[in-house]
Structure 1
Amino acid sequence: MAGGVVLVSSSMVQPVNSNQSGRTKIHLTPFDLSLLQFDYPQRGLLFPKPDPDFNLISRLKTSLSLALDIYFPFAGRLVKTENLEDDTASFYIDCDGSGARFLHAEANSVSVSDLLQPDGSVPDFAKHFFPADDFKSCDGVTVPLLVVQVTEMKDGVFISYCYNHVVADGVSMWDFLHTWSKICSTGSGFNPKPLVLKGWFLEGIDYPIHIPVSETERPPPSRELSSVPTTKEWIFHFTKENISNLKSKANSEVASNDQGISSLQAVSAHMWRSIIRHSGVSREQKTHCKLVVDVRQRVNPPLEKDCFGNMVYLAPATTTVEELLDRGLGWAALKIRNLVSSQTSENCKFFAEEWVRNVNNLRAGIGSKVDGGTIVIASSPRFEVYNKDFGWGKPIAIRAGPSNSISGKLTLFQGISEGSIDVQANLWSDVIVKLLADVEFLEHVTVA
């Protein structure tokens, strides 16, 4: 490792119950398989430093073993089957109890204040606080589906993780983290309910799904990296008052609308318009705001809200740069709201059927068709992140890791103060500079 981070140990943590009979195979849906070439998502929580007698690493590993017994898919492996008759491959999750990887690291020269820059910038060394091994979901056939890194700092602890996206989404991952933290802080006093798998498959689609072998292989490394402009990561903080003002402004501009603009839609629209205004794309060009849509409650019949698995896909709100910039915040927010409300069970069915009919371009990953006119909004401020107390205190901050990093990627988190939202933006360096000088943008944003 680097950036002042030294790897102390690497080990496998298996479920406490080694008998995994009865839960051996999970078939994958088009929603899962569409993410085969995506990097493992990475998130991390910053905590104060516990007392020396807390036995941090041993307690975390013991409680992780118990948590994996409940969330057993994370302890499995992805299995790839070659279908020689049609030169395709199929995948499923084998819940064999192989375990998750646990990395223990130290960064004794790094303090909490080094990580949390007052201007909102994310220091470059922060990437070393994540288990960043460039894993893609298709690599799950040989690498763990979950990797955890615990980095002990001068005055804090950073607990980060990356996970295979075909196995789970943000809803399931944060549920898992909540269970793990509860077990660690209460021991045997916490009795979580049994895991409910999503158990959803679209009628008319044969499983396992056959994918062209060429689409399941890793793309070659890009040779154009040296000519690509550099990106920077920045934290933009929206206070409860910021959000209230943005929401009021958006709704006042669409007064005839019978359903109000939400806080999240207003914030997303503000970021979309502000970034595109400084991206240098022509007014005639198309611009997209891609949102992660959770379909648990959208399919018919609906699934349980917290069922385990991956039940998300990207859906774009699309317009021209000219319309986006000229028609105002309310119009852009309404565009996003209409996109979200249009994601019905029929849309989910259409996505799945079309994906199976046209399995191609998987290897483009999240960067597919992403350019200066596109933003991608990941995660959600609805995820409760500051209640993850492992037994020595609540988190101080949350950060996203370097995976799936493209210019225009926005990761939204619950803010530490009530009713606030944090946006971790990965943008071209020149766009960041222009945003920080944009009075109209900063009117509704607090730089962290």
Structure 2
Amino acid sequence: MPSSSPTLFSKCTIIPDQKSTIGNLKLSVSDLPMLSCHYIQKGCLFTKPSIPFHNLIAIIKTALSRTLSIFPPLAGRLTTDSDGYVYITCNDAGVDFITAIATELYIHDLLSTMDVNESFKEFFTFDRKVSYSGHYSPIMAVQVTELSDGIFIGCAVNHAVTDGTSFWNFFNTFAQLCRGANKCIRNSPSFRRDSVLISNAVLRLPEGGPVVTFNADAPIRERIFSFSREAIQKLKARANNRRWTENNNAVELMQKHMNDHYNNNNNNKENGNGKVAALIENWFKTNVNSKQQTVTVTETETVEISSFQSLCALLWRAVTRARKFHPSKTTTFRMAVNCRHRVKPELESFYFGNAIQSVPTYASAGDVMSKDIRWCAEQLNKNVKAHDNGMVRKFVEDWENNPRCFPLGNPDGGSITMGSSPRFPMYDNDFGWGKPLAVRSGKANKFDGKISAFPGRDGSGTVDLEVVLAPETMAGLENDAEFMVYATRQL
């Protein structure tokens, strides 16, 4: 279905309903590198409420104003002092609020396309805005788009101010206040600035600020692949050299926040490609269902591979095959690691700001393709497990010795960057008329190899991967038998 641009209905500034009592918040060594990144763009698709749209907008505006009083940095601006330190000034300058009309669009049409529908990209403002511009532009903007039978609420937030944990805590609180459940805010944010992440090092920036470090106009395709709980159980059992059975209760759920049941009716063979279906069926018979297949587990193989590490290993192998590298080519799998509970003393669970570090794992294409999933998952497991307090501090020290913006992108063509998390409570957002049908993102920070992990809507342990690849690589992934035996296309 072709993209259809919403019609701007109104635009205004929303300010907090109470004045901020928070002073300047210094950007940390996790915040500063994000100044060259696009604003985060995430939002939720809902069924259309029964109340008139103009009444709904009034309710949402009031809730947003109240939410900004709980999250005053979002209504502020960035400032740089004479020494080069960058701060969030909580000055109640407000956020942009936009309403738009796209009543020619229907929920079914948006969710039924094979690739992510391009119309979703039009449901966000601040398109490709670089985070440094928070010095002179709002730190956040909210756009509410009316569809024929639905509503999309999209937020664009400065990435130097928030990470995924902070963003979804804001979004959940926003929804909580909108539906009137305001007696007790579930997860109050912490604005402390006294941890090892706060540094005296100065990030020297060029005149006018930094630019993104990747080609935002390079051709890409974007799809969402779903992995059912059963498929993930099978994959984890395979990575841990265990036989999977339907009665196996040793299951690690991929997120702690459980959502309402939703049957997405995915089907592997609904991809319109008979060749792929045949490849999948043949691979499944010879590699998964074979009763003769047995694996001996030695005493030295004691590392427990998690469900998500198993899934990442599957993706790493499939994308590497699709890229058709020479065996000697070095590949990189980057994972964003939450440092809140890793650093000592620990940060609060809802510390507001960026508290993430990018952990790379390197391996030759030959090893990734020739060794099994367990080997690939073990490489990821070792690096994530090793990222303790000492490693967090080592990363901080390394940055202090060479302050720099984060080199987001895929300059050598061999990288995969995994962002977001299936543990984020993306579907805990009932604004008063039901939970979201889908979570989607905008154009921000999209490049070949950028992957984002979302929880499945049904809350049973399913995982959705938002996969962004060069067109020829995506075609190879869609025809990869090992990958597609576990993946289904989200509808």
Would you call these one fold, judging by a TM-score over 0.5? Answer: yes
* 2:49 corresponds to 1:50: yes
* 2:204 corresponds to 1:212: yes
Q: Residue 159 of structure 1 corresponds to which residue in structure 2?
A: 153
Q: Which whole-Å CA distance do the structure 1 matches of 2:332 and 2:24 have between them?
A: 37
8 A Cα contact 2:419 2:452, kept in partner: yes
Q: Residue 291 of structure 2 corresponds to which residue in structure 1?
A: none
Which one of the candidate residues 455, 458, 469 is aligned to 1:427?
A: 469
SS in structure 2 at match of 1:35: helix
Give the counterpart letter for 1:434 in structure 2: G
Q: Which whole-Å CA distance do the structure 1 matches of 2:129 and 2:335 have between them?
A: 23
* 2:225 corresponds to 1:233: no
Give the counterpart letter for 1:161 in structure 2: C
8 A Cα contact 1:198 1:309, kept in partner: no
Q: Residue 86 of structure 1 corresponds to which residue in structure 2?
A: none
Please report the TM-score for the alignment, with normalisation by the length of structure 2.
Answer: 0.83
Q: Residue 24 of structure 2 corresponds to which residue in structure 1?
A: 25
Counting only pairs closer than 5 Å after superposition, residues 16-415 of structure 1 correspond to structure 2 as 16-17=17-18, 19-21=19-21, 23-53=22-52, 55-83=55-83, 89-119=84-114, 121-186=115-180, 188-192=182-186, 194-202=188-196, 207=200, 209-214=201-206, 217-219=209-211, 228=218, 230-252=219-241, 255=297, 256-360=300-404, 362=405, 365-367=407-409, 370-415=411-456
8 A Cα contact 1:4 1:109, kept in partner: no
Q: Deviations over 1:166-201 (max 9, x none)?
A: 211111111111111111112544444643224343
Give the counterpart letter for 1:56 in structure 2: L
Structure holding more strand per residue: 1
8 A Cα contact 2:26 2:85, kept in partner: no
More deviation, 36-45/187-196? 187-196
Q: Which whole-Å CA distance do the structure 1 matches of 2:212 and 2:419 have between them?
A: 26
Give the counterpart letter for 1:104 in structure 2: T
Give the counterpart letter for 1:71 in structure 2: F
8 A Cα contact 2:40 2:444, kept in partner: yes
Q: Which whole-Å CA distance do the structure 2 matches of 1:342 and 1:183 have between them?
A: 39
Give the aligned CA root-mean-square deviation in angstroms. 2.1
Give the counterpart letter for 2:461 in structure 1: G
Q: Which whole-Å CA distance do the structure 2 matches of 1:310 and 1:210 have between them?
A: 17
- C-alpha change, 1:322 and 1:191, in structure 2 (3 Å) is closer
- C-alpha change, 1:193 and 1:271, in structure 2 (3 Å) is closer
Q: Which whole-Å CA distance do the structure 1 matches of 2:63 and 2:355 have between them?
A: 27
8 A Cα contact 1:10 1:101, kept in partner: yes
Q: Note the C-alpha offset of 1:81.
A: 2.5
Q: Note the C-alpha offset of 1:234.
A: 0.4
Give the counterpart letter for 2:37 in structure 1: F
Q: Which whole-Å CA distance do the structure 2 matches of 1:292 and 1:317 have between them?
A: 12
SS in structure 2 at match of 1:346: helix
- C-alpha change, 1:206 and 1:185, in structure 2 (3 Å) is closer
Q: Which whole-Å CA distance do the structure 2 matches of 1:193 and 1:410 have between them?
A: 27
8 A Cα contact 2:427 2:436, kept in partner: yes
Q: Which whole-Å CA distance do the structure 2 matches of 1:358 and 1:334 have between them?
A: 30
8 A Cα contact 2:213 2:407, kept in partner: no
More deviation, 2-11/211-220? 211-220
Q: Residue 9 of structure 1 corresponds to which residue in structure 2?
A: 10
Q: Which whole-Å CA distance do the structure 2 matches of 1:125 and 1:188 have between them?
A: 33
More deviation, 49-58/345-354? 49-58
SS in structure 2 at match of 1:242: helix
8 A Cα contact 1:24 1:95, kept in partner: yes
Give the counterpart letter for 2:75 in structure 1: A
Structure 2: gaps spanning 5 or more residues: 242-294
8 A Cα contact 1:296 1:311, kept in partner: yes
Give the counterpart letter for 1:393 in structure 2: G
Q: Note the C-alpha offset of 1:259.
A: 3.1
Q: Note the C-alpha offset of 1:118.
A: 5.0
Q: Which whole-Å CA distance do the structure 2 matches of 1:313 and 1:391 have between them?
A: 35
- C-alpha change, 1:389 and 1:353, in structure 2 (3 Å) is same
- C-alpha change, 1:220 and 1:63, in structure 2 (3 Å) is closer
Report % sequence identity. 32
SS in structure 2 at match of 1:34: helix
Give the counterpart letter for 1:178 in structure 2: N
Q: Note the C-alpha offset of 1:48.
A: 0.2
Q: Which whole-Å CA distance do the structure 2 matches of 1:270 and 1:179 have between them?
A: 35
Q: Note the C-alpha offset of 1:134.
A: 1.7
Q: Residue 292 of structure 2 corresponds to which residue in structure 1?
A: none
SS in structure 2 at match of 1:30: coil
Structure 1: gaps spanning 5 or more residues: 84-88
Q: Note the C-alpha offset of 1:359.
A: 2.2
Q: Which whole-Å CA distance do the structure 2 matches of 1:200 and 1:24 have between them?
A: 14
SS in structure 2 at match of 1:211: coil
Q: Deviations over 1:62-119 (max 9, x none)?
A: 0011111011111111102244xxxxx3211101111111111111111111210253
Give the counterpart letter for 2:98 in structure 1: L
Q: Note the C-alpha offset of 1:238.
A: 0.3
More deviation, 189-198/319-328? 189-198
Q: Deviations over 1:265-287 (max 9, x none)?
A: 11111111101111132210110
8 A Cα contact 1:183 1:190, kept in partner: no
Q: Which whole-Å CA distance do the structure 2 matches of 1:30 and 1:327 have between them?
A: 37
Q: Deviations over 1:143-182 (max 9, x none)?
A: 1111111111011111111111221111111111111111
Q: Note the C-alpha offset of 1:206.
A: 5.2
